[in-house]
């Protein structure tokens, strides 16, 4: 049985019955391919998972009913198997490379070499990618060695680690925290932005693990690729120098669409309206990158005469000691210093500089995703001494019209939501409780998501969810009942149900929340969500 569900106002979710089954997964992969071929107007991304297909679109360009029809036809069409490739992955099992091999062997009542033999004896299907860019969820592991996750996750799992979690196995693309049982390590880079496609695996592929003891050749090739990348950078004619980086300052643009099926988050500015306004006011392309400043701003030295503007949060900006009002472009002389003071309202300010921050695009975007080490300055926040190259402005910019007013929350905000896509995992009382409660943004919050304290949302007893697609603005509820509001850097898949999703028009307000701020949620209709978005577009009409 198939269902098409709303996932906010900018995505739909086609799902089959909740099971991990190669036939259903094949249907999801085939349906995703059919949707890509149909390419309805406004399509942004298509993501197949174990037993669903998430379709992302521009809500102002797309016709949701047409997307529903396309999804339904794709689900009902005769199965056309998408033949994937078979990939051999060399693995050094055990020892320092596989610290949990003995644990798995003891759990299974086997010798270590028997675990290796069973793990390497079969081909594994790539059901989907998620968690990290290029991380494939592979199955199914021999039941005899299907050890559960570790009780305590590791803070650091090395890149290339081959691990087991129940009937799943996978290869970690980069060093990260993880709770799977690590039984070996591979030299193969399963995600490499210098390769096309960047992800080695794709849904529908098959993977065969080959025991080996030689890890040097591929590692050297990887080092050579990194050296080539590092030596390809150039020095720009116009630059900005980071004197002090502030609390957390990153390079952001509108994000990288089209790669979520490979586990790559869209990322981009949390407050896209303030980012957009900053570019328009200094004559930049809408694709240009700005600096996203979080709570406490940086100190920057502008090396050549230029024009800049600061939008979004009021963090008491100044140029050479003279206060700069939000949304008012300022001329900055060569050697001029940009500083920030106390936070008065909002959480994130955007520095738009004439020409934009002209770092190299990664997968079509300059946006920084620190968790995946992608984009910006080597995938990290700014550091003292960074020299940021500037591009060329395409226009003269302008001044802020009276019609353009971007509210910045001071202390909290009420956000509008649409129910779903997994509201069926909750009793009806949960949505009512969500609406009548006030939550606080906790310090355990970042660009991936805001952990909220307040009411505990009940879930349907005894029902757990298979990992599925996630959505920006979704309110995800783990077993504890304490909600998490997913933001731009969220993982592309997750195992917790999403009770409701913040509408696109209100996501910039969510992006201005800081730890300690309050947030409330109110349900609205899709028609109201689209009307709010159209009102925002009309407000920008005099500038765009």
pLDDT given for residue 280 in this prediction? 93
pLDDT given for residue 231 in this prediction? 36
The tokens describing 349, both together, are 């300010």
pLDDT given for residue 226 in this prediction? 42
pLDDT given for residue 407 in this prediction? 80
3-state helix/strand/coil string of 33-85: HHHHHHCCCCEEEEEECCCEEEEEECCCCCCHHHHHHHHHHHHHCCCCCCCCC
The CATH-assigned architecture of domain 3-76 is 2-Layer Sandwich (3.30)
d(CA 491, CA 265): 6
CATH of domain 412-539: 2.40.100.10
**Residues 175 and 159: beta-carbon distance below 8 Å:** yes
pLDDT given for residue 222 in this prediction? 44
What residue ranges of the chain have pLDDT lower than 70? 82, 215-235, 402-403, 542-544
d(CA 9, CA 503): 6
d(CA 196, CA 450): 33
Q: Which residues of the chain are in CATH 3.30.1360.40 domains?
A: 3-76
pLDDT given for residue 74 in this prediction? 82
Q: What's the whole-model pTM score? A: 0.92
pLDDT given for residue 462 in this prediction? 82
pLDDT given for residue 376 in this prediction? 96
- Which residue, chain included where needed, has tokens 């963090």? 315
What is the H or E stretch that residue 164 is in?
strand 161-165
pLDDT digits (tens, 9 = 90+) for 402-423: 667 788 888 999 999 999 999 9
| φ/ψ bin of 99: left (φ > 0), alpha (ψ from -120 to 50), beta (otherwise) | alpha
pLDDT given for residue 71 in this prediction? 87
The tokens describing 537, both together, are 């577009």
86-227 carries CATH number 2.40.100.10: yes
pLDDT given for residue 188 in this prediction? 95
The tokens describing 76, both together, are 């009902």
pLDDT given for residue 499 in this prediction? 98
Q: Which residues of the chain are in CATH 2.40.100.10 domains?
A: 86-227, 412-539
């Amino acid at each position: 049985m198939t269902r098409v569900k709303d996932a906010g106002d900018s995505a739909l979710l086609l799902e089959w019955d909740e099971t991990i089954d190669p036939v259903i997964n094949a249907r999801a992969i085939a349906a995703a391919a059919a949707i890509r071929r149909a390419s309805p107007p406004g399509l942004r991304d298509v993501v197949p998972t174990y037993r669903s297909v998430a379709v992302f679109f521009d809500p102002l360009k797309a016709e949701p009913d047409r997307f529903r029809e396309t999804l339904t036809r794709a689900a009902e069409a005769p199965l056309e198997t998408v033949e994937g490739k078979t990939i051999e992955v060399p693995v050094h099992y055990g020892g320092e490379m596989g610290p949990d091999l003995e644990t798995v062997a003891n759990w299974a009542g086997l010798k270590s070499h028997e675990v290796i033999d069973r793990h390497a004896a079969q081909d594994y299907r790539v059901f989907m990618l998620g968690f990290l860019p290029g991380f494939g969820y592979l199955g199914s592991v021999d039941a005899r060695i299907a050890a559960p996750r570790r009780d305590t996750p590791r803070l650091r799992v090395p890149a290339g680690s081959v691990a087991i979690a129940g009937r799943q196995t996978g290869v970690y693309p980069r060093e990260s925290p993880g709770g799977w049982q690590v039984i070996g390590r591979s030299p193969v880079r399963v995600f490499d932005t210098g390769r096309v496609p960047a992800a080695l695996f794709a849904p529908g592929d098959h993977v065969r693990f080959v025991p080996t003891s030689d890890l040097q050749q591929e590692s050297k090739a990887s080092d050579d690729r990194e050296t080539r990348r590092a030596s390809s950078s150039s020095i720009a004619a116009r630059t900005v120098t980071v004197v002090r980086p502030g609390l957390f300052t990153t390079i952001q643009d509108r994000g990288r669409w089209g790669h979520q099926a490979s586990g790559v988050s869209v990322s981009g500015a949390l407050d896209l309206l303030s980012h957009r306004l900053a570019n328009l006011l200094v004559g930049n392309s809408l694709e240009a990158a700005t600096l996203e400043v979080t709570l406490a701003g940086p100190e920057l030295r502008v090396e050549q005469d230029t024009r800049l503007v600061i939008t979004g949060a009021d963090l008491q900006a100044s140029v050479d000691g003279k206060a700069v009002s939000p949304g008012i472009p300022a001329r900055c002389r060569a050697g001029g210093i940009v500083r920030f003071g106390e936070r008065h309202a909002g959480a994130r300010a955007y520095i738009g500089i004439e020409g934009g921050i002209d770092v190299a695009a990664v997968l079509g975007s300059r946006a920084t995703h620190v968790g995946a080490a992608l984009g910006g300055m080597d995938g990290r926040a700014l550091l003292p001494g960074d020299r940021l190259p500037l591009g060329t402005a395409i226009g003269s910019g302008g001044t802020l019209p009276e019609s353009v007013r971007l509210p910045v929350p001071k202390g909290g905000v009420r956000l509008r939501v649409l129910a779903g896509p997994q509201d069926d995992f909750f009793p009806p009382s949960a949505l009512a409780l969500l609406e009548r409660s006030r939550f606080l943004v906790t310090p355990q919050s970042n660009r991936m998501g805001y952990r909220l304290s307040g009411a505990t949302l009940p879930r349907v007893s005894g029902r757990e969810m298979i990992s599925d697609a996630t959505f920006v603005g979704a309110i995800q509820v783990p077993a504890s009942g304490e909600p998490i509001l997913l933001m731009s850097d969220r993982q592309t898949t997750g195992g917790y149900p999403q009770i409701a999703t913040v509408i696109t028009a209100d996501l910039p307000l969510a992006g201005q929340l800081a730890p300690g701020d309050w947030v409330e949620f109110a349900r609205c209709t899709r028609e109201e969500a689209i009307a709010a978005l159209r009102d925002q577009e009309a407000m920008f009409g005099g500038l765009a």
